């Protein structure tokens, strides 16, 4: 009778109290990148707060906040920055990745997206980013298909996909791992396990003991990391990208984090999150521990913090003003454009159904 033992590695560096648990990886030892990561996390948290505020004041539609996910998104964002041949397939809550690659103004895309304008998706160039994907988990097979294309064409670069804990129940999660494992594709799938799928807690989502273990079932290398530590996320994801590029196949990484916000601005998590759990999660959140760590390491202080906040507030203000000044108005015919490569005349004729008043009032934000 034989059995086998499975080992799921867990990557962590900085504890919730700001103390280094293990020695830092080589690339972090001079603390330059950790400082940049901290700065990005602070910027994104403030941009995110701007978006929530815009929604609450009727200037943005329903919005999915990334509060609590800053470390996961920043870790991945820096991988994308350092490995520009990498393609990233988000779901709908990923903003730091865009800002890491393209700067604060990249946040205009999510604002326009949640503001109801398709032009918000145009950050998707097919090479570094795919568009936001609302049907849960469907971006996973897109990532795997893109990895297949890279394999066929002999193109360099891994494909990083992210999904939530809820998405692991979806058929696309299974499809993605089945195809990626079977065809040995250069994919890195990150599960942002923030413990909640709207109101469904992780424990009710699946009886699986650990989400990462599910990768083993598909023959895919699997590991976990502390999703509140951007260094851990960066290390795990970049190593997985390297393995993928070397032809060693896909990796599943479960990042353990906590959703500190509502599912979206249309949700009220107070209805279902148990008493005290949110407060406990805040004590582990990524920005506070990074600040403590950098202070203890002697590379951060109150003055630098003030400078950073002042800079961030300026960036946020500029982004807000740019968003509110709006995009150019689109002509009424634009509503039927871009569905086919060449818009059929029958479709253009249908725009006559839009009243001239509606044409005059068509918004650009």
Partner 1 sequence: MDTDTFRPLVGGSVEEATSQDKRKTKGLVMAEAIHCAIARAMEEDSAVVVFGEDIARNGGVFRVTNGLLERFGAFRVRDTPLSESGIAGIAVGASIAGLRPIAEIQFFGFSYSALDQIINHVARMRYRTRGKLACPIVFRAPYGAGVRSPEHHSESTEAIYAHIPGLRVVIPSTPKRSYGLLLAAIRCNDPVFFLEPTRMYREPREEFLDDGAALPLDTCFVETEGNDVTIVSWGAMLKEVREAARLLKEKGIGSEVIDIATLGATWDSETVVRSVAKTGKCVVVHEAPFTGGFGAEIAATVSHKAILSLFAPVERVAGLDIPPPYFQNEWHYMPSVTSVMRAVNRTFVNAGQGSIL
| Distance, C-alpha 14 to centroid of its chain | 21
Quick one: 292 or 330, whose CB is closer to partner 1? Answer: 330
Which residue from 227, 230, 231 is spatially nearest to 253, judged by alpha carbons?
227
- Binding status of residue 268 toward partner 1 by CB under 8 A: no
- Binding status of residue 353 toward partner 1 by CB under 8 A: no
Contacts of 308 (CB under 8 A, 6+ apart): 39, 42
316-345 residues near partner 1, rule: CB under 8 A: 337-341, 344
Is residue 20 within 8 Å of residue 273, measured between CB atoms? no
Site string for partner 1, 290-319 (x = CB under 8 A): ------------------------------
- Smallest distance from the beta carbon of 133 to partner 1, in angstroms? 8
- Binding status of residue 168 toward partner 1 by CB under 8 A: no
Candidate segments 40-48, 128-136, 291-299, 316-324, binder of partner 1 by CB under 8 A: 128-136
| Distance, C-alpha 302 to centroid of its chain | 29
- Binding status of residue 143 toward partner 1 by CB under 8 A: yes
- Binding status of residue 109 toward partner 1 by CB under 8 A: no
Candidate segments 44-52, 145-153, 241-249, 297-305, binder of partner 1 by CB under 8 A: 145-153
Candidate segments 39-47, 133-141, 196-204, 294-302, binder of partner 1 by CB under 8 A: 133-141
- Smallest distance from the beta carbon of 260 to partner 1, in angstroms? 29
Q: Contacting partner 1 (CB under 8 A), which of 60, 144, 191, 252?
A: 144
Query: What sections of the chain are H helices per DSSP?
Result: 32-56, 70-82, 96-102, 108-114, 138-153, 171-182, 202-205, 213-217, 230-245, 277-282, 286-296, 302-324, 345-350, 356-360
Contacts of 45 (CB under 8 A, 6+ apart): 67, 70, 287
Candidate segments 48-56, 117-125, 190-198, 285-293, binder of partner 1 by CB under 8 A: 117-125
In this structure, how many other beta carbons lie within 10 angstroms of the beta carbon of residue 40?
Answer: 21
Quick one: 31 or 335, whose CB is closer to partner 1? Answer: 335
CA distance 272 to 326: 37
Is residue 257 within 8 Å of residue 228, measured between CB atoms? yes
- Binding status of residue 208 toward partner 1 by CB under 8 A: no
Q: Contacting partner 1 (CB under 8 A), which of 17, 19, 118, 307?
A: 118
| 144: exposed, middle or buried (Cβ count in 10 Å: 0-12, 13-18, 19+) | buried
CA distance 256 to 8: 13
CA distances to 67, 68, 264, 279 from 282, rounded to whole Å, are 10, 8, 18, 5
Site string for partner 1, 82-101 (x = CB under 8 A): -----x-x------------
Candidate segments 39-47, 120-128, 203-211, 265-273, binder of partner 1 by CB under 8 A: 120-128
Contacts of 329 (CB under 8 A, 6+ apart): 362, 363, 364
Torsion, Cα of 312, 318, 322, 325 (10° steps)? 130
Q: Contacting partner 1 (CB under 8 A), which of 126, 326, 331, 364?
A: 126
Site string for partner 1, 54-73 (x = CB under 8 A): --------------------
Candidate segments 138-146, 244-252, 301-309, 321-329, binder of partner 1 by CB under 8 A: 138-146
Q: Contacting partner 1 (CB under 8 A), which of 133, 239, 251, 257?
A: 133
| Residue ranges binding partner 1 (CB under 8 A) | 87, 89, 118-119, 121-122, 124-126, 130-131, 133-135, 138, 140-153, 159, 171-172, 174-176, 178-179, 182-183, 337-341, 344, 346-347
């Amino acid at each position: 009778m034989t059995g086998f033992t499975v080992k799921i590695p867990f990557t962590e560096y900085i504890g919730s109290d700001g103390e280094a648990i293990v020695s830092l990886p080589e690339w972090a030892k001079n603390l330059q990148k950790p400082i940049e990561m901290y700065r990005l996390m602070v910027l994104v948290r403030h941009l995110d707060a701007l978006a929530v505020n815009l929604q609450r004041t009727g200037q943005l539609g329903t919005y999915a906040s990334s509060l609590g996910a800053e470390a996961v998104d920043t870790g991945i964002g820096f991988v994308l920055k350092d490995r520009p041949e990498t393609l990233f397939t988000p779901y709908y809550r990923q903003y730091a990745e865009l800002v890491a690659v393209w700067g604060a103004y990249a946040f205009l895309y999510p604002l326009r997206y949640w503001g109801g304008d398709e032009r918000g998706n145009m950050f998707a160039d097919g090479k570094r980013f795919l568009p936001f994907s609302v049907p849960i988990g469907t971006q996973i097979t897109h990532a795997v298909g893109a990895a297949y294309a890279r394999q066929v064409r002999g193109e360099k670069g891994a494909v990083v996909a992210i999904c939530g804990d809820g998405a692991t129940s979806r058929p696309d999660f299974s499809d993605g791992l089945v195809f990626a494992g079977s065809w040995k594709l250069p994919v890195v799938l990150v599960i942002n396990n923030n413990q909640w799928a709207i109101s469904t807690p992780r424990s009710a989502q699946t009886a699986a003991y650990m989400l990462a273990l599910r990768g083993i079932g598909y023959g895919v290398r699997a590991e976990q990391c502390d999703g509140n530590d951007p260094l851990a996320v960066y290390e795990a994801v970049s190593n997985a990208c390297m393995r993928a590029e070397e032809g060693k196949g896909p990796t599943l990484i479960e990042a353990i984090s906590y959703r500190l916000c509502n599912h979206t601005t249309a949700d009220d998590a107070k209805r279902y999150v148990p008493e005290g759990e949110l407060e406990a999660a805040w004590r582990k959140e990524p920005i506070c521990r990074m600040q403590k760590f950098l202070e203890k390491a002697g590379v951060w202080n109150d003055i630098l913090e003030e400078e950073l906040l002042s800079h961030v507030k300026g960036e946020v203000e500029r982004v807000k003003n740019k968003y509110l000044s709006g995009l150019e108005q689109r002509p009424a015919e634009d509503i039927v454009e871009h569905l086919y490569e060449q818009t059929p005349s029958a479709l253009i004729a249908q725009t006559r159904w839009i009243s001239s008043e509606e044409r005059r009032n068509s918004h650009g934000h």
